[in-house]
Amino acid sequence: MNQDLSIVQLMLNASWVVQAVVVLLMVVSVVSWAAIFRKVFSLKRVRAHNEDFEREFWSGTNLNDLYAAAAQSAKHGGPMERIFASGMREYQKLRERRITDNGALLDGARRAMRASFQRELDVLETNLSFLASVGSVSPYVGLFGTVWGIMHAFTGLAALAQVTLATVAPGIAEALVATAIGLFAAIPAVVFYNRFAHDIDRVANAMETFMEEFSNILQRNLGAQTQTPSGH
């Protein structure tokens, strides 16, 4: 028997359940790749913004000037810049209320930066849970399609008087395509999930280190009894 065993022909002859599983997995794969590309460019942009701000911060620019620039570019700046702006905003508000307790001033700035850090981290982790779900669930969805396809194939063979490899092969092949598509969707999702998780951890560590260093600068300024934040 000469049969067309191409993937397209197998899918056209497959049961509607297998076809639905394959279409679902293909859609999930396309969406996951879109999320992967968005995350790649997003993390690259975040790292560039953070590096630019760190260079400016350690260049000796006055803290008030840095805060004014950060407040103006809050929407277009990087996470580290927004964290700095949150800490400075709270610090200045407490100073305006004539709070003189150094511990209260420092704790207020740290709390504001910690809250901003958590918001930025939540944004960085967007779509990670989706990639994790695709990586863990897609193989099982594909396996479901394979099991259903094999059941459908053997049900059709029951009516035949003579069963040969040529009659079994198409049904088994079309069923196995579902597992292959499931793995096709899952493998990139798992690989990039691990990469993104590692990259986000590095960005988070850099931001936490900056928060500590900035807190130390504020503490030194308070210890020197400065009335306004000075350069460093």
Taking each helix axis from N to C end, the angle separating 79-96 and 102-124, rounded to the nearest 10 degrees, works out to 150
Dihedral of CA atoms 55, 57, 60, 63 in degrees, nearest 10, equals 160
pLDDT of residue 83: 94
The rounded mean pLDDT for the chain is 85
Q: How far is CA 229 from CA 96, 170, 225, in A?
A: 13, 76, 10
Dihedral of CA atoms 129, 201, 60, 42 in degrees, nearest 10, equals -40
Nearest C-alpha neighbor of 78 from the set 56, 98, 52:
52
Domain ranges of the chain: 7-223
CB atoms within 10 A of CB 224: 8
pLDDT of residue 7: 65
pLDDT of residue 151: 81
Residues of the chain where predicted confidence (pLDDT) is lower than 50: 1-2, 225-226, 228-231
Residues 219, 224, 226, 230, CA torsion sign: negative
Note the pLDDT tens digit of each residue in 183-223: 999 999 999 999 999 999 999 999 999 999 999 998 888 77
DSSP E strands, the chain: none
d(CA 56, CA 50): 10
Total-model pTM: 0.81
Name residue, tokens 């899952």: 186
**DSSP string of 117-134, one letter each residue:** HHHHHHHHTTTHHHHHHH
